[in-house]
Amino acid sequence: MIEIDLSGRVALVTGGSRGLGRADALTLGRAGADVVIADIQVESDSGEDAERFGPMAQAARAQGLVYSEATAREISELGRRSAAIKCDVTDREQVAETVQRVVEEFGAVDILVNNAGTLDHLGQLSDQVPELWERDLRVNLTGSFNCAQAVWPHMKERGWGRIVNMASVAGTLGGFGQASYSATKAGLLGLTRTLALEGARHGITCNAIVPGVIGTEAFEFGNPKMNERMVQRTAMRRAGEPQDVANAIAFLCSDLASYITGVGLNVSGGIELFTF
């Protein structure tokens, strides 16, 4: 029986307070990795700055959907080392400090899961807000670049690394009313392939997950009629679970996937197929 074993590895998961990031962090911990969760929100923080991160962050804080420290505790209960660190991926100084702290306290950063992202800027082109377009670029695309660049020298030094970027079918198919989101997720696929090329000779792989409709808290915040339309557009006629994405990430981070790099892996239930 083939098992995913990440024992001795240290993972950094951004945007791990809920949804896909939380599932990713827990799954990597169950596979044996020590896991650090980096998120703009942690429970012990006052949350006074939540409004500057957008309506989804505000709603999560208001509804008690922030689980950064709780997730770290769950991973610790598995016998792994874990911590939750408040970090804004758009702030290069914070990112550098977070990575340095992880290296000092945990000994390495072997795995980076770039999960932090925004998904609350909706509107057709004429209604897209320039300030939110810029924010989405900073978070979804530049944030992943910042984190990858910060861990890169540590991975090169050790001759081993796994980077997984969270793209989306919106980046491969387009998304009606999602110009900024789609553009940033498409950009992540280009970044993924470039990092795969540059990292290959240093034992570093870089792949992207391309999720479809996944039943996270963000999905539940969405318009029910639109959600149902997207589910019916999916070949499997159901939303996926965060665990479906987490399982794929754990595989890509393991030695079982040592010869896989530069891939955009659909975890989508077939939404990209010609479904009728």
User: Model confidence at 45, in pLDDT bands (50, 70, 90)?
Assistant: confident
The DSSP secondary-structure symbol of 242 reads H
Question: For residue 227, what pLDDT is reported?
Answer: 84
Write the CA distances from 139 to 56, 142, 214, integer angstroms.
14, 6, 20
Query: Which of 115, 95, 143 is CA-nearest to residue 248?
Result: 115
- The top-level CATH class assigned to 46-65+101-267 is alpha beta
Question: For residue 220, what pLDDT is reported?
Answer: 74
Q: Which two tokens stand for residue 35?
A: 């896991």
- 264-267 and 204-211: which strand pairing? parallel
166 pLDDT exceeds 90?
A: yes
Question: For residue 276, what pLDDT is reported?
Answer: 66
Q: Could you give the strand order of the β-sheet that contains 82-86, starting from the edge strand earlier in sequence?
A: 82-86, 34-39, 10-14, 111-114, 161-166, 204-211, 264-267
Place of tokens 């700055």: 49
What DSSP string runs through 134-201?
HHHIIIIIIHHHHHHHHHHHHHHHHT-EEEEEE--HHHHH--TTBHHHHHHHHHHHHHHHHHHHHHGG
123 pLDDT exceeds 70?
A: yes
61 pLDDT exceeds 90?
A: no
Report the pLDDT averaged over residues 59-63.
75
Q: Which two tokens stand for residue 132?
A: 């939110």
251 pLDDT exceeds 90?
A: yes
Question: For residue 3, what pLDDT is reported?
Answer: 86
2 pLDDT exceeds 90?
A: no
* pLDDT tens digits along 183-210: 999 999 999 999 999 999 999 999 999 9
Residue ranges per structural domain of the chain? 46-65+101-267
pLDDT averaged over the chain?
93
* pLDDT tens digits along 4-13: 999 999 999 9
Report the pLDDT averaged over residues 103-123.
95
- 111-114 and 161-166: which strand pairing? parallel
Contact 101, 85 (CB under 8 A): yes
Residue of 181, 207, 252, 269 with catalytic role: 181
Report the pLDDT averaged over residues 248-255.
98
Alpha-carbon span 243 to 221, nearest angstrom: 19
51 pLDDT exceeds 90?
A: no
181 is known as an active-site residue: yes
